[in-house]
Amino acid sequence: MTKWLTLVVTIVAAALLGVWSVRPPAPLPASAAADRFSAERAMADVRIIARAPHPTGSAENAAVHAHLVRRLEALGFSVRTVDAPLPPKSRDRLREWGSPVADTAMARTIVALRPGQDPVSPLVAVMAHYDSVWGSPGAADDAAGVAAALEVARAIPQASQRRDLALILTDAEELGLVGARAFFADGIAGDPLATRVGVLVNMETRGGGGRAAMFETGPGNGALMQLFAANVADPAANSLAVKIYELLPNSTDFTPAKLRGIPGVNFAFIGDAGLYHSPLATPEALDRGALQHLGAQGLDITRALLTAPALPERAPDTVFSDVLGTIIIAYPAWVGWLVLVAAAALAGVAVRGRGWRWREIVAGVADGVAFALATAVLAYGVNMLSGADRKSNYYDRLAALPRLEWQVLLLMAAALALTLAMAGRWRSLHGNWLGLFGLNFTLAIAVQAVLPAGAPVLAWPLLVAALGMALHARLGAVAPALAAVFGIAFAGNLAHFVMLGIGPGMPAAVAVFAPLLLMLLWPLLPPVPRRTALLAALVCIVLAAGLALWVRLDPLAPSVAVYSLKNGY
């Protein structure tokens, strides 16, 4: 009974810690200190910008433009507007949207400059786009980013600026990054100010809530990320996410700057994904906590960049991750090998003289592989049942994400129960654990060798699990239980963002966490009768299939982008 109690308490604690770690901070009120970022202050701009849909070329877009120019001038900026013609593809999209000005509209990017003490050295630029798609008020995308940029500029007194601050509020981002592409175009085609941009902070959204992650950097981020780690309180950033994003076809205004070799950081929140480009993305629906988190991180890094004696030099890419949203740990790629050596040494201490047998190790490896395969197969199959097998509305799939996450969670539980039901009779605490450790360790070595930026995802829980197991003899089950609470919350936090990022199409990706989960839980698992395990697996699969059918058969979500109903985006 105590074993069951320990297991349940561990899982509940891990779940609470994981949920806590993915929740945005509380929004600060309008009465917050002047040097702090206040979401409530920023909301005043969000309400004006997102009063109505304001796509490029529309009268609403012109009204937003006029408001932003006034606001920037009041904040001490000299402001100009850079007009760029729309390429044919962008005009086609405006036409699809039914815009009456598709032939004459221009991308009207606002370029604002506020000088610091040194007018010559490279400047710091903060960027967001003020256009919305057709049919969405765009309170998140990207009124939140624009309002955050203004609140960041307000919170930094001009007298404290060691170098110049530029605000680049682009237009026609939704039509193919037109404003940003024109500003950052190479040579004389681009804006003269672009040559002075030393570092760029971009703020975006793809949804209406959740924590804002720093998901993209420019080239050579080593020193920049050290500055980020030292100055951004309450951070969300992971070098694996940066690498995964590089592999995705997505782009933001940051892309043209990055192509030009400009360093920087790119933030976005992607929770409440159903609000992406949605007619329901109103100021009232916007998650104030998400706005707070986006702006507070933007302020911390912008202030650090504006006041540092020198901008960070280009340095080899670093490996980094936040630890459950508390602090960032960043180190050069080679340090990852030391983490793995430490984990192996602790694992050695844990199993030394424990009388394990080779067949138990083999059984541990087999269980880990079986759990991962079962998770992947079930997640893939049930996701097809949920509608991924046919051409479905992308925005409807985004709206279904909370259900798709529960679906994957249930299937992972089912896969675990199936693995335990099918496991052979070669069981021992240390033998099977060593097998599971070996499996995860092998994966971690492969990741460290091929993609060191992704290594913390496995290496950190591995280190903690080995520490917990090494202390097991002295402290009892509480040591591996604490390790499991941290490891599961850490992996769960990442799995949540994996689901938000690629969940509707590829939920099976979470299977990479399966061997890790089993290793963390192994010291705590009581023996389960085979029939009980099979029954539990069956119940979980039936529930997940029920959710999948609900997602498949329910009517189109009212949140889907209006234009997605006209054509097949």
Say if strands 165-170 and 197-205 run parallel, antiparallel, or are unpaired: unpaired
Question: Please, which residue, 130 or 371, has the CB nearer to Zn ion?
Answer: 130
The smaller minimum CB distance to Zn ion, of residues 180 and 382, is found at 180
Taking a C-beta distance cutoff of 8 angstroms, is the pair 151, 301 a contact? no
Q: Does 367 bind Zn ion (CB under 5 A)?
A: no
253 binds Zn ion (CB under 5 A): no
Query: Closest distance between Zn ion and the C-beta of residue 47, in Å?
Result: 18
Closest CA to 272 of 207, 205, 212: 207
* 126/462 with CB nearer Zn ion: 126
Alpha-helical segments (H) within 232-357:
239-247, 254-259, 288-307, 335-351
**Binding flag, residue 141, Zn ion (CB under 5 A):** yes
Question: Considering only residues 329-358, where is the footprint of Zn ion by CB under 5 A?
Answer: none
Query: CB of 145 within 8 A of CB of 159?
Result: no
d(CA 405, CA 15): 14
In the complex with Zn ion, the residue whose CB is nearer, 174 or 317, is: 174
- Angle of the 145-155 helix axis to the 59-74 helix axis, nearest 10: 10
* Shortest distance (Å) from residue 404 CB to Zn ion: 23
Least CB distance from residue 140 to Zn ion, whole Å? 8
**Please, what is the minimum distance in Å from the beta carbon of residue 181 to Zn ion?**
14
* CB of residue 142 to Zn ion, shortest distance in Å: 4
**Amino acid identity for residue 420 in this structure:** L
- Dig out the tokens for 143 from the structure: 């009124």
Tell me the per-residue interface mask from 54 to 83 with Zn ion, x by CB under 5 A, - otherwise: ------------------------------
Distance CA 452, CA 439 (A): 18
In the bound state with Zn ion, the residue whose beta carbon lies nearer, of 142 and 300, is 142
- Complex with Zn ion: residue 141 or 360, whichever CB lies closer: 141
Q: Letter for the amino acid at 90?
A: S
| Residues in region 183-212 near Zn ion by CB under 5 A | 204
The minimum distance between CB 141 and Zn ion, in angstroms, equals 4
Of the candidate spans 8-16, 54-62, 134-142, 329-337, the one that interacts with Zn ion by CB under 5 A turns out to be 134-142
**How many whole angstroms separate alpha carbon 57 and alpha carbon 101?**
6
- Main-chain phi, psi angles of 205, to 5 degrees: -150, 155
Closest distance of CB 477 from Zn ion, Å = 48
Are 330 and 226 spatial neighbours (Cβ–Cβ below 8 Å)? yes
In terms of CB distance, is 21 or 56 closer to Zn ion?
Answer: 56
204 or 405: CB nearest Zn ion: 204
Q: In the complex, what is the shortest distance from the CB of residue 253 to Zn ion, in angstroms, rounded to a whole number?
A: 8
* Interaction residues for Zn ion, span 286-325 (CB under 5 A): none
Q: Residue 496, Cβ neighbours under 10 Å: how many?
A: 20
Q: What's the full length of the chain, in residues?
A: 569
Q: Assign residue 453 a region: left if phi > 0, alpha if psi is -120 to 50, beta otherwise?
A: alpha
Q: How far is the CB of 113 from Zn ion (least distance, A)?
A: 23
If DSSP codes are grouped into helix, strand and coil, which group holds residue 215? strand
d(CA 242, CA 221): 11
* Helical residues (DSSP H) of 142-253, grouped into ranges: 145-155, 178-183, 222-231, 239-247
Nearest to Zn ion of 93, 163 (CB atom): 93
Q: Does residue number 396 form part of the binding site for Zn ion (CB under 5 A)?
A: no
- Indicate whether 142 belongs to the interface with Zn ion (CB under 5 A): yes
The site that binds Zn ion (CB under 5 A) totals a number of residues, namely 3
* Nearer of residues 99 and 202 to Zn ion, judged by Cβ: 202
Residue 238 Cβ vs Zn ion, minimum distance, rounded to whole Å? 21
Sole window of 25-33, 136-144, 223-231, 444-452 interacting with Zn ion (rule: CB under 5 A): 136-144
Reduce the DSSP state of residue 267 to 3 states and report it: strand
Helices 335-351, 456-470: axis angle to 10 degrees equals 30
Residues that bind Zn ion (CB under 5 A): 141-142, 204
